[in-house]
Structure 1
Amino acid sequence: MIRYGPIFCVVLLLVSAFYFQRTKRVHMIHQISGGIFFIAFILMLFNFYYINAYGAYLYPSFLSQVLGFKVISTLSVLVISVFYMTIAAITWFSNYSLRKYIDPSKIPTYYSLMHIMNAAITIVVFTDTFVTLYVAYVIIIMAAYHMIQIKNKVAAPYEKLRFLTMNLFGLFLLFVGLAMMVYKTHAMDFEMLHAALNTFQSEDANYYTLSMTLCIVGLGVNGVLFPFFAWMPDLFATTPAPLSAQLSAVTIKISPIVMMKLVFSGYGITLFNALHLNSVLVILGIASMLSGSIFAIHQQDLKKMIAYSTISQLGYVYLAIGIGNEYGIRIALYQLLAHVVTKAAIYMSVGSMYEQVGTTEIKRLKGVGKQLPITLGCFALGAISMVGIPILPGFITKWNLSLATLTSGSVIPLFVILISAILNATYYSTDYNQWLFWS
């Protein structure tokens, strides 16, 4: 059973989604959902131990053809384990807060969509097949849209429409980019694509540059890469806190994961650098880091500030991918997983503040630290991690990313990382936010 853990998790999530739609016992749905994600997390831990003990393993040809689950490795299991752990915590938080945002009659639909979305996320993490990956990606976007559509106290019809329009546009660009690769190479998965590109001809450089650029832009729209993040901040400021935590901490991370697969498993580092696509991703990553932080500084709403912070923090991931070496991919993956945990903690902390005070406007949160010291302590811990205080995950990312930029022979990103850390400290500063909350 341990070997088939990923398949079992997908089936369990889909079956439970069907059950939620059929049950009227709303009070049990939170506990069932949280229990399912906790079980999935434990199963993935056993899977991780199994791979460390016996090595990565292959699935039978039938499962490989249907889902594209070919090689189950430690990295994919590690990613999904962190996802499940975080979602279990968000579900626990939802047990106390979701009914304050959503009509109880809508809660079964909300959880059904959430389980379908996370089943699709699991497939994207493990699959190597283009068709399966793309279909699962579409399901993720559409499930997220319908979750956003569920009526809540702060309606945002324009933001919802912009989310759907821009993300469908991103999916279209990704489809065209992948279709161009398949047409030229006849490859249907990353392994076949990599093998086909080993015979790369220089006259095809523009063709492969264009196809990969379309994929990067399409994924960038879904993954809030500069300058395609317009749909995200206003929307995340108005969605229920549990949904904001799910979308920001987990769902939005699928784009950089797919990008990593394309860059390192599909094109390969050598070809990606030869086409100078790494330079483009470095520039866009730097722009995301700086623009997200600059916009965050000027926000008066705490949830919107955190949304812009997400843009900045994902910029580190894109910069690390763009560095174009194995060191960079490790840092990108570490930053992605660190951000999953810290961002979920921050959104849940802010959600708790909102439920007690009734607002997320920063000036009106004065004194909330006295009322909710543990909540604000969790918020502060996540904030100083993102600033890059030593020992915490954010510092580890910034330090190693700085070393990776030096390894690549470029010093400009090093100065940008320093400037970004200063900007992070500015909008998470003690005298602007934490002091205001404690006073």
Structure 2
Amino acid sequence: MVYYGPFICILILMLSGLILLSTRRKWKIQLLSGSAFFLCAFFMWISYRSFSKIQVEQLYLGHVFMLNALNLVLAFTFMIVNMLIIWFSYYAIHKYMDETAFNPYYGSLLVMNAFITMILFLDDTRWLYGAYFLVILMSYNLIKIKVNNAVQYEKTKFIVLNLFGLLLLAVGFMMLKELSGTTRIHLLRDYINLERLNYLTLSVTLCIIGLGINGALFPFYSWLPDLYSAMPATLSAHLSSITIKVGPIIMMKILYDGLGSMWFSEIEIDRVLVVLGGLSMLTGSLFAIYQRDIKKMIAYSTISQLGYIYLGMGLANSLGIQIAIYQIIAHTITKSAIYLSVSSIYEQAGTTIIEDLKGIGKEMPVTLMCFTMAALSMIGIPLLPGFINKWYMSLSAIANGSVVPVFIILISTILNATYYLPIIINGYYGKHNVSDKVFLSKAKPLKEVVPLIILVVMMVLLGIFSNEYFDINPVHYYF
């Protein structure tokens, strides 16, 4: 099964997207979409269990695919989270779009995730670029379907900047091909010539800028906050928790699968990523503090949390890359829980203005509890994934003999608490908006928040059993 699991999942997602074109009823469209992701999660889990019995670190399939335990776990996480978001959306999607838009929306979502799945396992820059290009186009199609014309400028900025990023990435990939004579990522390091170090530095720099635009790396994230805050929270959950991770994942492939830590450090890209990742963490949080709309605050928080991924990559040791991948998994689950909590609040309260959410915990206790748990993880409360990430990233920095990243993490943690804790406290104890209101007056039925609760449980388990993750794969083949 390990040989066929990823291919089966890609096929399921592609076929499901095509079948949706002839499906008309809302419940059938969503049932098919959710079932497709559930089946893919099942096959990814079976593939992971089969892979663990082979006892190899990497498995190459044909000339373009590469499997390891971590990309199977990433794919499994993406499938489960997609399924839960669709489950949650079943009860609210009609509030955001007309039924005539269901087919193109869910079809684009399925096809986009087929290409994301492909990217996780690709080991060839030509195929990787093609799949990434299609992910960007599918993302834009989803945004067009669900974002109104009032934010046309933000939609235009998204596609223009990302097409520019794709152009830079194409040039970077072509330079790597000219330098090494191969498009196989894991063979790059074997053909690098010290005499062409400047050429290598330029090609990798172009790749990082090109991928950093879609991956919201400082200072290329200007397209994200206004656009994500304008979209329905369910779509923001898909894009913020999963799609935006594609850039950092491809970057990891180039820098670690391709160059390895020796060449990566030789051209000093590691220091650049530490600086840019740290600036993403700090500026994202600083801008988040001053937002009045909770959706825009969360959008800036996404930039900050992505900074942890880049910082982990820049630390350029085995613990750093492991914790960067752990952050991808943790942020996928946690950010989905936060966005769905906000979606639930908006659907019942009709507002996302922070000042108007004082006392919302009296009316929607389960929803605010889920938001609270996810926010506490973002802050870094012990046992939750956010704490695990910050703790091990600090250890990774200390192992490199540098304390500057530790101070950046500490400052970022304080900033995270600055904008999340007031919402939590005022949500439970604020009386500004709840005088003479009935307890549970805006609460959703339990069946509608079950996916949100499952996400929070997954998040807690990921923190408690984090040691299981670190035992999956030591990733020492990068180093």
Relative to the length of structure 2, the TM-score reads 0.87
1:418 aligns with 2:413: no
* Aligned pair partner of 1:83 in 78, 92, 95: 78
CA distance in 1, matches of 2:312, 2:426: 34
- 2:318 is matched by which residue type in structure 1? E
- Could you list the per-position Cα deviations for residues 383-436 of structure 1 after superposition, in whole angstroms to 9, with x for gaps in the alignment? 00010000000000000000000001111111111111000110111xx21122
Per the alignment, residue 358 of structure 1 pairs with 350
Per the alignment, residue 433 of structure 1 pairs with 423
1:174 aligns with 2:164: no
1:226 aligns with 2:221: no
CA distance in 2, matches of 1:151, 1:101: 7
- 2:189 is matched by which residue type in structure 1? H
Per the alignment, residue 279 of structure 2 pairs with 287
Question: Are 2:59 and 2:68, in contact at CA under 8 Å, matched by a contact in 1?
Answer: no
3-state secondary structure, aligned to 1:300: coil
- 2:143 is matched by which residue type in structure 1? I
CA distance in 1, matches of 2:44, 2:324: 21
1:156 aligns with 2:156: no
* Aligned pair partner of 1:146 in 132, 141, 144: 141
Per the alignment, residue 24 of structure 1 pairs with 24
Question: Are 1:102 and 1:153, in contact at CA under 8 Å, matched by a contact in 2?
Answer: no
Cα displacement (A) at 1:154: 7.5
- 1:264 is matched by which residue type in structure 2? Y
CA distance in 2, matches of 1:376, 1:39: 31
- Could you list the per-position Cα deviations for residues 227-252 of structure 1 after superposition, in whole angstroms to 9, with x for gaps in the alignment? 00000000000111111000000000
Give the count of matched residue pairs.
Answer: 428
Cα displacement (A) at 1:192: 2.2
Question: Are 1:44 and 1:80, in contact at CA under 8 Å, matched by a contact in 2?
Answer: yes
Per the alignment, residue 33 of structure 2 pairs with 33
Cα displacement (A) at 1:369: 1.2
Per the alignment, residue 128 of structure 1 pairs with 123
Question: Are 1:103 and 1:152, in contact at CA under 8 Å, matched by a contact in 2?
Answer: no
* Aligned pair partner of 1:317 in 302, 306, 309: 309
- Could you list the per-position Cα deviations for residues 147-167 of structure 1 after superposition, in whole angstroms to 9, with x for gaps in the alignment? 100145674111100110111
Per the alignment, residue 184 of structure 2 pairs with 189
- 1:192 is matched by which residue type in structure 2? L
Cα displacement (A) at 1:59: 5.9
Question: Are 1:154 and 1:238, in contact at CA under 8 Å, matched by a contact in 2?
Answer: no
Cα displacement (A) at 1:58: 4.4
Q: How does 1:231-270 map to 2 (within 5 A)?
A: 231-270=223-262
Per the alignment, residue 108 of structure 1 pairs with 103
Overall identity of the aligned pairs, in %: 47
Relative to the length of structure 1, the TM-score reads 0.95
1:396 aligns with 2:391: no
CA distance in 1, matches of 2:59, 2:234: 36
Cα displacement (A) at 1:2: 4.9
CA distance in 2, matches of 1:418, 1:329: 20
Q: How does 1:36-75 map to 2 (within 5 A)?
A: 36-56=36-56, 58=59, 64-65=62-63, 68-69=64-65, 71-75=66-70
3-state secondary structure, aligned to 1:33: helix
CA distance in 2, matches of 1:155, 1:32: 32
Cα displacement (A) at 1:120: 0.3
Describe the shift of the 1:73–1:151 C-alpha distance in structure 2 as closer, same or farther (beyond 3 A). closer
CA distance in 2, matches of 1:379, 1:99: 23
- 2:22 is matched by which residue type in structure 1? R
Describe the shift of the 1:72–1:242 C-alpha distance in structure 2 as closer, same or farther (beyond 3 A). same
- Could you list the per-position Cα deviations for residues 206-234 of structure 1 after superposition, in whole angstroms to 9, with x for gaps in the alignment? 11011001111111101000000000000
Question: Are 2:85 and 2:234, in contact at CA under 8 Å, matched by a contact in 1?
Answer: yes
Cα displacement (A) at 1:32: 1.4
Ranges of 4+ aligned residues in structure 1 off by more than 6 Å: none
CA distance in 1, matches of 2:2, 2:178: 37
CA distance in 2, matches of 1:14, 1:347: 26
**Which deviates further from its counterpart, 307-316 or 359-368?**
359-368
CA distance in 2, matches of 1:78, 1:125: 10
**Which deviates further from its counterpart, 1-10 or 303-312?**
1-10
Question: Are 1:227 and 1:288, in contact at CA under 8 Å, matched by a contact in 2?
Answer: yes
CA distance in 1, matches of 2:112, 2:185: 23
CA distance in 2, matches of 1:275, 1:329: 18
Question: Are 2:270 and 2:315, in contact at CA under 8 Å, matched by a contact in 1?
Answer: yes
Q: How does 1:330-349 map to 2 (within 5 A)?
A: 330-349=322-341
- 1:373 is matched by which residue type in structure 2? P
Question: Are 1:102 and 1:152, in contact at CA under 8 Å, matched by a contact in 2?
Answer: no
3-state secondary structure, aligned to 2:183: coil
Per the alignment, residue 401 of structure 2 pairs with 409
Cα displacement (A) at 1:267: 1.1
- Could you list the per-position Cα deviations for residues 319-363 of structure 1 after superposition, in whole angstroms to 9, with x for gaps in the alignment? 010011111100100111100000000000000000001111111
CA distance in 2, matches of 1:142, 1:232: 16
Question: Are 1:293 and 1:308, in contact at CA under 8 Å, matched by a contact in 2?
Answer: yes
- Could you list the per-position Cα deviations for residues 109-162 of structure 1 after superposition, in whole angstroms to 9, with x for gaps in the alignment? 100000010000000000101111101001100000011001456741111001
Cα displacement (A) at 1:55: 3.0
Question: Are 2:228 and 2:296, in contact at CA under 8 Å, matched by a contact in 1?
Answer: yes
Question: Are 2:146 and 2:231, in contact at CA under 8 Å, matched by a contact in 1?
Answer: no
CA distance in 2, matches of 1:152, 1:250: 19
Question: Are 1:292 and 1:310, in contact at CA under 8 Å, matched by a contact in 2?
Answer: yes
Cα displacement (A) at 1:172: 0.9
Gaps spanning 5+ residues in structure 2: where? 431-479
3-state secondary structure, aligned to 2:91: helix
Describe the shift of the 1:436–1:131 C-alpha distance in structure 2 as closer, same or farther (beyond 3 A). same
Question: Are 2:379 and 2:417, in contact at CA under 8 Å, matched by a contact in 1?
Answer: yes
CA distance in 2, matches of 1:222, 1:2: 31
* Aligned pair partner of 2:288 in 283, 293, 296: 296
